[in-house]
Amino acid sequence: MKIDNAVAIVTGGASGLGEATVRNFVAGGAKVAIFDLNEERGQLLVDELGDCVRFYKVDVVSEESVSSAIDAVAQNSGKIDICVNCAGIAFGIKTMGKNGPHPLDSFKKLIDINVIGTFNVFRLAAEKMTLNEPNEGGERGVIINTASVAAYEGQKGQVAYSASKGAIAAMTLPVARDLAFYGIRICTIAPGLFLTPLAEGLGKEVCDALAEDVPFPHRLGAPSEFGDMVSKIVETPYLNGETIRLDGAIRLA
């Protein structure tokens, strides 16, 4: 699928990996809808990138919020070609700690946002994609979700986060099979350690220490590299039903 003239939705698009994806799409000639709760940051991107970007304040867990925004994108742009899900949260809580067992509410909240939110958006985006005229290769749409290497090598305190990212990776193949009839592809990216605003907030010393564990390149990933991978998936029709590690060969200890 060509990025030029495509219409893309990017959840969590106001910052980090989502922002890098938005910028990459805009550079490639796409129109982009940012779904995020950060109105201030989202509007700054709209002001910077121009009319090809629109911001929608969306709670990915809410069916009504997502459905309303997706209807608006389809109405404003005439179609939806690409859906990239980057929205998510993370925290560190051990299964059993000094204060007792892992709080159930915290576990549920993370699963709701990372798993239910991702599913909620791509299922409704897929419905709109089925209405598209197929291109010369029979494609009607592309969905890209964001997992993590923690889906495979979760560290201490990552039981909820790892469960959520493992679920996203596990959904990929069955969804690819479900949507094959409609000519809609889906892939998942499992990033390693990236230099997002969250990582930058930890300070240079911490970032340098994290980079020590990356075999090569011996550094944290650049968000633009994530955006590049998204574009490669969109433009490579034979990529489908796969979870791709983007991690410099790191394996979390």
Q: Is 152 a catalytic site residue?
A: no
Predicted structure pTM score: 0.96
Range with the poorest average pLDDT among 144-158, 177-191, 206-220: 206-220
Q: Is the pLDDT of residue 206 over 80?
A: no
H/E element holding 65? Answer: helix 63-77
Render the burial of 18-36: b for 16+ CB within 10 Å, e for the rest.
Answer: bbbbbbbbbebebbbbbbb
Residue 217 CA, chain-centre distance (Å), reads 23
Q: Are 79 and 27 contacting, i.e. CB atoms less than 8 angstroms apart?
A: no
Which pair of tokens denotes residue 103?
């709080």
* Region of poorest pLDDT, from 172-176, 178-182, 198-202, 204-208: 198-202
Element (H, E) at 41: helix 39-49
Catalytic residue among 56, 161, 182, 238: 161
